[in-house]
Amino acid sequence: MPEVSIEHIDFEELNRRAISQPLVKHIYTADPSAHVFNGKIYIYPSHDIEAGIPFDDLGSHFAMEDYHVISMDSVTSEAIDNGIALHVKDVPWAERQMWAPDAAHKEGKYYLYFPAKKSDNIFQIGVAVSDSPVGPFVAEPLPIEGSYSIDPAVFEDKDGSFYMYFGGLWGGQLQSYRNNQYSAENQEPQANEAALNPLVAKLRDDMLGFAEAPKEVLILDENGNPLLAGDTERRFFEASWMHFYQGKYYFSYSTGDTHFLCYATGDNPYGPFTYQGRILNPVVGWTTHHSICEVDGKWYLFYHDSSLSEGVTHLRSVKVTEITYDVDGKIQTIEPYS
């Protein structure tokens, strides 16, 4: 799938055909991680800015500096921007690129998990704590030991255990790791080799660190074989998310350079997961990143596109649309522009 060319897009027409509109328009927001805490919707997005950094394959132009939490009483009510929840200048270990975050709630405390680059140019994942779901959050002095790469997504299982899924290719540096060890020599596998997978680690009871070394999350095809690196329309690239629906664990993710949101299902939080299909077809803008959240008995996809900025790939806007499952639990593929 070639990258969407913005030269021939009539954005007025596209916005008319869009199945949903940006939740907020006064700032650019992306990578929405949505949760219902105490009956209210909280969205933890990236806060996109124009930093004037040239475009490259490492995503240097995604030069975000802070996070704002968006809250809503329902999916159709006004989305409220609660201001700066955490700024990179208040994170002792982080230097730049505050990418896709997520949050969790346990025993009256709220935990914001976020990736950022350190001064050595390596991404790690940190945590910051607040008494309020909208912050301000206070960052721990060091990143989470054993964490690496980007895109943390934190899932609470039925028994109250929390798991963090993470990892992302290219700018997210996942290709530089094998067995949780970094080497700049490591590269993406060849097309006929098994694809790189995201990671999962159970969180400690205090929510501030991993209880175990990260494990690979296997994504298999319909024959039980690992997806191959050359299978770019199905293999994992970035943007992990986990939700539980009718007895199954749904692991969803972005295919990155082919621009699909896909999902795979399994029987437990560690997998393996079997590829099932696409959730969302490509949106305007290079990246696609989402969360799936149940609100008042219905299921919603929170996602982003670059329609408000007329195709500027690092200036995105968060949107929401309902998802539907068929009787077998298959998610119907959503076409973002009707």
Chain residues in the site for ligand FUB (CB under 6 A): 30-31, 46, 62, 99-100, 150-151, 168, 238-239, 287, 289
Distance CA 107, CA 88 (A): 26
Query: Considering only CA atoms, which of 2, 53, 14, 108 is closest in space to residue 310?
Result: 14
Nearer of residues 130 and 291 to ligand FUB, judged by Cβ:
291
Nearer of residues 106 and 177 to ligand FUB, judged by Cβ:
177
Preceding omega of 136 cis (within 30 degrees of 0):
yes
Closest separation between CB of residue 256 and ligand FUB, Å?
Answer: 8
Nearer of residues 12 and 259 to ligand FUB, judged by Cβ:
259
Query: Considering only CA atoms, which of 272, 151, 263, 158 is closest in space to residue 215?
Result: 272
Q: Specify the DSSP class assigned to residue 4.
A: P
Nearer of residues 72 and 283 to ligand FUB, judged by Cβ:
283
Preceding omega of 272 cis (within 30 degrees of 0):
yes
Closest separation between CB of residue 30 and ligand FUB, Å?
Answer: 5
- The half-sphere exposure of 81 on its side-chain side, counting CA atoms within 13 A, is 16
Closest separation between CB of residue 287 and ligand FUB, Å?
Answer: 4
Phi, psi of 69 (to 5 degrees): -100, 135
Cβ proximity of 31 and 286 under 8 Å: no
Closest separation between CB of residue 185 and ligand FUB, Å?
Answer: 24
Measured from the Cβ of residue 70, the count of other Cβ atoms closer than 10 Å reads 22
Distances (CA, A) of 195 to 219, 232, 316, 317: 9, 9, 28, 30
Catalytic residues: 31, 238
Residue partners of 183: CB distance under 8 A and separation at least 6: 176, 177
Nearer of residues 35 and 61 to ligand FUB, judged by Cβ:
61
